[in-house]
A and B are shown apart, each in its own frame.
Chain A
Amino acid sequence: MIKLENVTKQYAGQADAALKNADADIAKGEFVFLVGPSGSGKSTFLRLLNKQEEPDAGRIFVAGKDIAKLSNWKVPMLRRNIGAIFQDYKLLPTRTVAENVSFALEVIGRPRHVIKSQVPAICELVGLGDKVDKYPHQLSGGEQQRVSIARAFVNRPLILLADEPTGNLDPQTAIGIMRLLDRINKTGTTVAMATHDRGIVDTMRRRVIELADGAIVRDQARGVYE
């Protein structure tokens, strides 16, 4: 599903490459943790996959396609197949839960009847069935992350990228979020999650890719944090 071949990313004005000669192969339906200290290249790894960044060298394949060869107007199509969630949720503060989720469908031109049926269903799935009319500021951090997961998943993407989704949450709430991501993974969605959270990694025992200074130093099935 995701394949990196010798990928290097160098940000302008920085001495060291953010990602150096990275090779990885992630199969459909896998759940992969990206671990490593801040600045080790986890976020860059994820941002390269949905073309928020372009690699300086190497090739990246998503669903068998070399994404460097995608023309500009096809990039949105790639992104429709890749959901993304973040530590800071990126919710729109002036929209309710339901509106935040339906926004993701509206802007890709889904018909209204589809939006009407899908939004309540996905809100139910993430456990916010009774909070669809609340605004983000009325929700807890965990609830806000659930909204962002609903938004990322409502379009049933093949891949879900999660960049430290539990970074702002207490351990108990984080476990709830991980259960949700696990359920989403069980529907066949490939999940790649960057995290610092040793507890979560050690408990879930999934594949771990460890990065240090931009290089992949470990790739271990059913791994632990270190």
Chain B
Amino acid sequence: MALRVDYLAKETGHNLIRNPSLTIATVLTVAVSLALLGSALLIRSGVGGLNTRFEDDVEFIVWLDADATTEQIDTVERALANSVSVKNHRYITRQETFAEFQTFWAESPEILDAVQPEQLPTSFRVVPANPEIELVEALADEYKVLPGVVAVDFAGEFIRQLNGFTSTASTIMLVTAAGSLVASSLLMYNSIRTALFARRREVEVMRLVGASNSFIRIPFVVEGLTLGVIGAMFSILGVFGLNRVISNSVEKSSTALFDSFALQQADLVPIAMWLLIAGAFIGAVGSGFAVNRYLDA
């Protein structure tokens, strides 16, 4: 059975412009729902990146009381040195702390003027052997209770909250995306049904003169695929745009923590592929159901 490409292209093109408002509605719905899906995926991979980033250079700071005795400091140091969970640790003197302090507040001399090295606490910088957030947190808690320790600083809680927030956000987006994907499949179904109705005379004649079932059906399925893929392309533009916006605000941000949210263009390619596949899938499923429902011999 020869289904010629030029025939298919001509039929599909003709069908797409036959009912422009429905074509636009279908493409837009597919685009919006896939853009939601894409954004959810984008945020997911940003959060994923955040975790890896944190796990790579995790470190916590055991702040010592400014009045801590040498004995107390030694106890803490021994505990750190003997722990198998600690990869390495480093004592930060008042001078070192002051140096860091100077760099940090370089633009605010009035603050620097007000602080003397003697007023600053000393601390241990600790790198844990295992960077899992849970384990690091448990480990950090062990040192909180030692005498002479005022506080243990650790980015874990912050990351946990950020994680919770973004994963809730992306879950909501995924659910919304799922809902609108169903809506766009139904619209696709109706769009193809309308195309079938518009071409019912041709279909009737094709049947009468003995066109094969696939010859009659394939143009409609191709039309659905085309609508789905065009919608997917728009959604990909949207996702690239969103990533650009995120990248811009990450660049302006003072901390490097959010760097993982700005994906490289190359990292967007898998997301784009998924959106294309999803668009084609919506088109195929929507048109497939319509064709099966209304073209049965």
A residues in contact (CB < 8 Å) with B: 50-51, 72-73, 75-81, 83-84, 90, 92-93, 103-104, 106-109, 111, 151-152, 155
Contact = CB atoms under 8 A, between A and B. Distances in A.
Contacts of A81: 210
Contacts of A111: 2
Nearest to B207: A79
Given A72-B213, A75-B297, A107 B208 contact: no
16 contacts: A72-B213, A76-B207, A76-B213, A79-B209, A80-B209, A84-B208, A92-B201, A93-B201, A103-B209, A104-B205, A104-B209, A107-B205, A107-B206, A108-B210, A108-B215, A109-B2
Given A92-B201, A92-B202, A109-B1, A79 B208 contact: yes
B211 interface: yes
Contacts of A109: 1-4, 212, 215
Interface string B205-236: 11111111101100000000000000000000
**Overall SS of chain B's interface:** helix
Contacts of A155: 209-210
Interface in B184-213: 201-202, 204-213
A77 B4 CA distance: 19
A200 B211 CA distance: 33
Nearest to A54: B297
Q: Which bracket fits the contact residues of B?
A: 20 to 34
A135 to B, nearest CB: 14
Nearest to B7: A106
Contacts of A106: 7
A51 B212 CA distance: 14
Nearest to B2: A109
A216 to B, nearest CB: 25
Interface string B1-36: 111100100000000000000000000000000000
Nearest to B204: A90
Nearest to B199: A92
Nearest to A95: B202
A73 B212 contact: yes
Contacts of A51: 297
Contacts of A78: 210
A90 B205 CA distance: 7
A111 B4 CA distance: 10
B168 to A, nearest CB: 51
A39 B211 CA distance: 30
Q: Top 9 A-B pairs ranked by shortest CB distance?
A: A80-B210, A79-B210, A107-B211, A109-B2, A104-B209, A76-B210, A76-B212, A107-B206, A84-B208
Residue from A72, A76, A111 with most neighbouring chain B CB atoms (10 Å): A76
B220 to A, nearest CB: 14
A42 B73 CA distance: 108
Contacts of B201: 90, 92-93
Contacts of B206: 107
A69 B206 CA distance: 22
Given A108-B209, A109-B212, 12 more contacts: A50-B208, A51-B297, A73-B212, A76-B212, A81-B210, A83-B209, A84-B208, A90-B205, A90-B208, A92-B205, A103-B209, A108-B215
Contacts of A80: 209-210
A93 B199 CA distance: 12
Nearest to A104: B209
A51 B7 CA distance: 27
A39 B7 CA distance: 40
A140 B204 CA distance: 23
Contacts of A76: 207, 210-213
A130 B126 CA distance: 96
A69 to B, nearest CB: 15
A100 to B, nearest CB: 8
B61 to A, nearest CB: 74
Nearest to B202: A92
Of the listed residues B3, B7, B208, the one surrounded by the most CB atoms of chain A closer than 10 A to its CB is B208
